[in-house]
Every structure is written in structure tokens, then in C-alpha cells.
Structure 1
Amino acid sequence: MGDYAGVLRRGEAVADATYVPVTAATTFWGRLPCEADAPILTVEPGTRVVLDTLSHEGLLPDQGSDPERFFASHGVPSDEVLEEAREIAASAARDPERDGPHVVTGPIAVNGARPGDLLAVTIEDLTPRVPYGVISNRHGRGALPGEMPVGTGNVSVFTPIAADAQGTWRGWIPGREGGRAVAGFPLAPFLGIMGVATATSERVHSVPPGPHGGNIDVKELTVGSTVYLPVQVAGALFYAGDPHFAQGDGEVALTALEASLRATVTLEPGR
């Protein structure tokens, strides 16, 4: 994991890397790419790709659909709110009645990838783009509905990150929303969504995982790991999103520590 060293804005600190930013043209919100979608980039096998990802937390209707106002209410200055968060939240790219919450970046085609292949995605680096995230509980879901959180409404707990006395980066969480931080936990960033396009003419919902990968939420897929995705369509059409700074043994509150990451991955098809 790359330690947080300041806000990673779109296009900054990427040098000559093969880079994919978050824009309206490079993302899907609530749906996943399908075979009818054109790639935003085509790369050769073994290419290392740097791609930005954007958390959906702070963008959703129950948070006001205004990330600048939402994060300002938690003391975040305007220049620490990603510009693409404002852009995506203001777009009409998602139907809240039909679509999932997740923002995904892609798709990226890999030359030579064919149905029947496995696309090996190796996680080379995951670096926080902002010094905060959000843990949410909604719709009476989670491990203890009706008990935690107290009450029946939606709860989004703002969770900053900071280094402890030993220099280890941690998330810091209050005992209840609005309270002071009372507990810290180590960061272990991973991408909740990694997948390939489905062999369908319409985009599938972002929540259910499947043979295409998608919303797999496997917390072990941290830096140094490789996930193998069964290619469904020519070129594979890889995408990633739902970035997390940390997750426990499942999303027991309904979410992990949801927060934006810059990811570096290597894409290699094979049989």
C-alpha cells in the first residue's frame, strides 16, 4: 500500500504511466460494462495500468447528492473534495430506483483476451486519494438490524485516516456519529469491484457478483495479490471500482470503509 501523501487529484503524479482518470466518459455508475460497450483504452498483455477510482459515499441521495456540502459538514475543506465526485454526483448517469450505488472505472480491453481465457489482474499498488472515508448503514440491513445503529434511519459515519504515534496509517472512528474518534484500525486497501464485461447486450446491476467478477468484496485482494477473472467477451473489458480503505470479516454494517483509491494493476490474459 502507498501511504497517503496528499490529495491525489485527477491527472496528478502519474508521469508517463498508462493512466485512466475518473470522468463521466470513463465510468459507469450503478451498472457494469457489457459486450455492447466500447473500451475506453486498449492495452497489450502485461501492461501496467494506473487507474483512479471513486467512492460512491458522499454522492448518494440520502447524503444529499452534493459531496462538497456533505464532506464540508464533517470539516473537509473544498480542495480535499475530488472534482470528479462533484461531476459524477451532478450527472444523470444513475437511476436510484434501478441501479446500484457503485462507480466503476473502465472498461479496458486487453489485446488477445478471448472467451475461455482467464484474465490475471495483479494488484501492484493501492494509494488513498483523500484522507477520509465513510462507513454507512442503510435500509435496516447489516448484521444487527434494529440494534446497531440505534434507530431506523440511514447512518453514514465519517471516518478520517491519520498516522498513529508509530507512523502506521489508521482509520479513526467515533463511538457514534458526530462523536470524537475513540478507536483506530489499520488500513488494508482493496478494490471491492474488479471484473470483466458480461456477454450480454445490456449492462448488469453493480451489486450482485457473478462469473464476471464484479462486486466480490474480497478483502484479501490487497497489494501483491492476483485475481483470475473468466473472460466473457473479446478483449475482456476490465473495470474496477468500489474502493475500500479497510474491511472487517464481511461488510457487517452494510459497507466497509468506503474511500477513493488510485490503483496500479497489471493485466495478463492466459489459458
Structure 2
Amino acid sequence: MPFTAPLQPGQGFIQSAHYLPSTVENVLWGRLPCATDTAVLTIDSGDEVTIDTLSHEGVLEDQGRDPVSYFAGHGVGRENVLDDAIALAASGYQRDPKVDGPHVVTGPIRIRGAKPGDLLKMTVLEATPRVPYGVISNRHGRGALPGEFPLVEGSVSIFAAVDDDADGSQVGTLPLVAGGERSVRFPLRPFLGIMGVAVAGSTRPHSVPPGSHGGNIDINLLTEGSSLYLPVQVDGALAYVGDPHFAQGDGEVALTAMEASLRVTVRFEVVPQSEALAAFGALVGPLAETQEFLVPTGMDEDLDEAVRKCVRAAISLLHARYGMDEDLAYAYLSAATDFNISQVVDLISGVHARVRVSDFEGHHG
């Protein structure tokens, strides 16, 4: 996962013929696209797009809406602050923190021929860090332990640096004690917290709660090589990406994980309705796919109900894809499938199952 920091707009390696920078004109801040939004790029099914994404950390109002000053306080020079982050913060973009979310999303992208009933398959081909640092925040009383954390009044944002490990890989680092020299090191696994399609109607959804449109699903399996399938809700799909992470544990308990800007390359493919039904059944929400797993999801304000929805989605998937009897699928899931908490901090809790595709390969007598 090598990178040259910073990856400023238009600079460095751009993998695909289509490039979408995160200029003020190409992003939404705090809201997600709806049917009446105008695409900033139109492509064909199968096309790949290299997209710059921006982390909201460092540009938010409670951090001064001045990334140069904010990151200078953590020892980051102006030359290592992204120009597009500075431009967005200074642009006068009208965002109300009381009613809008924090996330910056790049898009929407129209995919020719996509229509309701189809699925949109978004495959992450590249996820390259644009800077060598990130931020982990606890704010709004919305982590897993509201009322207990933060330990002080207001918001707490923890700066996390990127360092080289002994084997040449890159790791995130946090001090064990504030101001101390000893640190904890953890692996980086860059992924997009937000991948989605536009909703029907003329109201842009809040960027925080995920749903059938995808959005802020925060599934950390969606690293390079993984795909997300989403039910198309409007003509052209109007896809978007954002909320870039360098690392996140399942649960994302403090409210955010290691948030930091990425350059990603995504392939967009329309799966026609007939093919989608044969492959997955009638999907009502996001479905992820990695080389090892099919990953159905469940989402609800109540975590227990999110688990139940995920189990139902997994049973339906096994029945549609493999013809498995539903009671046998239920038994299989209990014996062989992990159900993970995607996140518990986004108003709507998320759960995802990891169904091993190798268990269903070939014939087992």
C-alpha cells in the first residue's frame, strides 16, 4: 500500500481514464444524493473511475473549519494538508451541523442503463492513502458509551500517525499516554465507509444513517478487491463514495475510526434485474462480496433487530443462490457463519454476516 504524500488533486498516479476530483462542485457535505441531483460524471456499465475522497476530520466546525491550522496543531505542515480540504473548508459551503451530517461524498455518478430493479455492483480496485495521518473522534454523545465518554466536555479528536513497520508495511500509531513516547501500532486496511446510490424523491438523506441505498454502512471488509451490490432506486443509479478510512474495528465504538482521505478506483457494473434475482434473490439492502465471503447485511435502530434482519437476509441469499432449504440454511448459519457488528454509532446499527463461498463449491456427498 505504498503512497507518496500528499496526493493533491490531479497529482500522482491516476489509474483509470475517468478521474473525479473532490472539488467543491463535485461533492456533497452532510447529505447524500437523491433523484433530482445532477450527475457530475456519466459513464457506461463496466467503466472504472479514479475518485479522490475527503475525510471530514479537520474540516468540521468543531475543529475550526480550518484544516491548515487544525493539522498544524499536530505538527503537520501546510505542504502535507490537502488543497481540496482547504478549498472546501473555505468555500462557504452551506452546511448546518445541527441538521446535516459530517461526511463529504464525491459524486453522484450516472451509470447509463441502470434502472430500478437492477443492482449496481461497485468494486474497489484501489484504495490509496492521500496523507500519512488520520483522526479518530468521539463527539455528540454518540459512541458506544454515551454519558461515559468523552471524559471531558466537548469533542475529543485523537490524531493518529502513519508509520513504517519493520516488515515494510505501514501501520497506524497512537500513544499509550497523551504526550508519551510509547505507542500502540495497528495494521492499516483502507476502505470506504460510504458507498451508495441515490434515493427516490427530491429530499437528500442525512449522511449518517445507512439504509437500503447503502450510504454510511462502515463495513471494513470492503477493501481492495471487494464489491458492494446495491438495489438501484433511480434511473442512472447516481452512485457516490466517501467517508474514507485507513482502519476500523468492527463496531467503530468511539463514533469514528481512523478517518483519512483516500484516492480510490472503483468499477461500476449494472447487474440486470433477471440476473440479480438468479444470483442473489430479491435484495432489499446492501450485499458485500469478497474473495472469501458473501456478506449480507441487516440494519435497524435496535441492534437485536439488526441481527435478526441480517439472519433473514442470509437465509434468503442461501436459498436463492444455492437452492438451500431455509431450515437447513438457518442451521448452517448457526454452525458456520460469523455475524459481525459493522457499527453501533450511526443512529442505525449495522450487522453483517460472513458466509464462506468455499463451503458451497463443488459437490459434497
TM-score over 0.5 for the pair: yes
Q: 1:235 to 1:144 in 2, by over 3 A?
A: same
CA contact (8 A) 2:15 2:50 kept: no
Partner of 1:232: 233
Query: Which one has the largest radius of gyration?
Result: 2
Partner of 1:3: 2
CA contact (8 A) 2:6 2:132 kept: yes
Q: 1:64 to 1:165 in 2, by over 3 A?
A: same
Cα distance in 1 between the residues matched to 2:180 and 2:65:
23
TM-aligned CA deviation for residue 153 of structure 1: 2.7
Amino acid at match of 1:232: Q
Q: Does 1:112 align with 2:107?
A: no
TM-aligned CA deviation for residue 207 of structure 1: 0.6
Partner of 2:184: 183
CA contact (8 A) 2:141 2:149 kept: no
CA contact (8 A) 2:213 2:230 kept: yes
Aligned residue runs from structure 1 range 64-75, under 5 A:
64-75=64-75
Equivalenced residues, count = 270
- TM-score after normalising by structure 2: 0.72
Q: Deviations over 1:198-242 (max 9, x none)?
A: 101121110111111101001111111110011011110010000
CA contact (8 A) 1:4 1:129 kept: yes
Give the SS at the match of 1:19. Answer: strand
TM-aligned CA deviation for residue 73 of structure 1: 0.5
CA contact (8 A) 1:28 1:93 kept: no
Aligned residue runs from structure 1 range 1-271, under 5 A:
2-13=1-12, 14=14, 17-90=17-90, 91-180=92-181, 182-271=183-272
TM-aligned CA deviation for residue 250 of structure 1: 1.4
Cα distance in 1 between the residues matched to 2:172 and 2:187:
6
CA contact (8 A) 1:120 1:269 kept: yes
CA contact (8 A) 1:140 1:152 kept: no
Amino acid at match of 1:21: P
Moved more, 245-254 or 134-143: 134-143
TM-aligned CA deviation for residue 139 of structure 1: 2.2
- TM-score after normalising by structure 1: 0.96
Compare relative contact order (CA 8 Å, sep 6+) and give the higher one, 1 or 2. 1
TM-aligned CA deviation for residue 8 of structure 1: 0.7
Q: 1:82 to 1:166 in 2, by over 3 A?
A: same
Cα distance in 1 between the residues matched to 2:86 and 2:233:
33
Give the SS at the match of 1:31. Answer: coil
Unaligned runs of 5+ in 2: 273-365
Cα distance in 2 between the residues matched to 1:127 and 1:191:
11
Cα distance in 2 between the residues matched to 1:143 and 1:161:
26
TM-aligned CA deviation for residue 249 of structure 1: 1.7
Higher strand share: 1
Amino acid at match of 2:5: G
Cα distance in 2 between the residues matched to 1:223 and 1:16:
15
Cα distance in 1 between the residues matched to 2:221 and 2:265:
16
Q: 1:258 to 1:46 in 2, by over 3 A?
A: same
Amino acid at match of 2:6: V
Higher helix share: 2
Cα distance in 2 between the residues matched to 1:41 and 1:95:
27
